[in-house]
Each structure stands twice: as structure tokens, then as C-alpha cells.
Amino acid sequence: MNRKVLITGASRGIGKAIAEAFAAMGDELFLTCKQSEKQLASFADHLRSEYGVKCSSFTCDAADYDSVSDLFARKIKDIDIVINNAGIAHIGLLTDMSVADWRKVMSTNLDSVFFTCKSAATVMLRKHCGKIINITSVWGSVGASCEVAYSASKGGVNAFTKALAKELAPSNIQVNAIACGVIDTAMNREHLTEEDLSALEDEIPAGRMGEATEVAKLAVMLADSPEYMTGQIITLDGGWI
């Protein structure tokens, strides 16, 4: 299709799966991550070789406005689709959480969406078209015990999505979000034990965790969705919530 697609947090997990899905569609990719520069560069090489697409990888802290704005100023002059995927988790009691940890979660999960959308929307407004897809969580809608900061950040992404969709709709730019349930990713396995994951699977009507490739399929569908579809938080959780 040769659309230009930016995916943040693309070195692993959901972001990596989304990048592969869009590469399979023949789109040009701009991939970013904060730290895993070599890992992301190797993945970009794979996509170029496997799918014959243009693919650029950048070290960019999505939670830092100067880093994001500099990326657009120097490297990304045109963009059709933005996937805001960069994010971190934090599990623990609110009373035990430091102010620094709270700021880190909010900055990575919520500020990053603002920074990227601010730069991308400027480009899209000139073209009078574009699609923004934010990766969020079911906890942004219902909240999770011992994940107050994460839930609050994702709730902020949900509200941001709905508000920005209304703001950009007159300019033919659609903004939607995918609210993920428990997805089988390295991040979840880093924060949850096998016993925790097994207990969660017992609660999920589908009887299993979701796959990153399933999130990627939905992201591709949203990128191809009708222009009248905007401001939606679409849940992908196996019937859990």
C-alpha cells in the first residue's frame, strides 16, 4: 500500500507484531524505541529483507518532547498512520509507589501519546487525512488493584483519544484506540508470575491470553476502517471485562 507508518515502542511485543503486519501490507515503516537500538535495527533489517519495504529505525524517547519533535523535524516529513504503542507497567501498592515512579509511568504511557500526536497531527492537518491508533488497556476503563498509575495513565489515553478524535474529525483525521486485555508479551511475563498468568487465564472466557499478532491484525483493520469511524476505544480481551 506504501503508506507511511510510525510505530513507537516497536522493538518487541505488540509494537513488533504491528510493525510486521504493516510490513506485510507493503507499507513504509518508521520504528522507534528508547533503548534497544541494536535489537530494533536488526528487526528493521529483517523487515526490509523479508517484505521488500522501506523501514527506518530510530532511538527516540517517546516520553521526551524534544526527542520526538526532533525526530519529526529531521527524519519524518510525511506520515499517514501513527501507532502509539510505547508503554511500561508498574505493579505495587499506591502507598509504596514513589513520586519518581508515578511520573515515569505517566510520562511513558500518556505524555508520549501527546508528544507524538502533537507532531504527527501537524503533518496530517496539512494533508487533510491520517489515522492515529493508540494502544491502551482494559484497565484504563475499569481500573486494576495494585496498578493505579498504569490504570490512570491508560484512562488518560482513552480520554485523550476521544477528545482528539472530535478535534481532528473536521480535518478527516481519525483517532481510535485498542484496549488490550492480557496479551502474551515479555512485559506481562516480567511483571506477573506463571501462577498469576494461569489464574488470569481461568478468568478469561476465551480461556487464554491474547497474542500480539491479534492486536496487530486489529491495528491493520483500524488503519483500513471507514473514515466515519473515529473516537472509539475497541476492546480486545477474549470477553474478559
150 is catalytic: yes
Which one from 51, 65, 150, 228 is the annotated catalytic residue? 150
Report the b/e string of 156-174 with b at 16+ CB within 10 A. bbbebbbebbeebeeeebb
Q: Which three cell numbers stand for residue 222?
A: 483500524
Q: Which of 32, 34, 2, 28 is nearest to 15 (CA)?
A: 32
Residue 172 makes CB contacts below 8 A (sequence gap 6+) with 128, 129, 130, 227
Question: How many angstroms separate the first and last alpha carbons of the chain?
Answer: 35
CB 114 within 8 A of CB 157: no
Of the candidates 77, 230, 82, which has an alpha carbon nearest to the alpha carbon of residue 168?
230
Q: Which positions are annotated as active-site residues?
A: 150
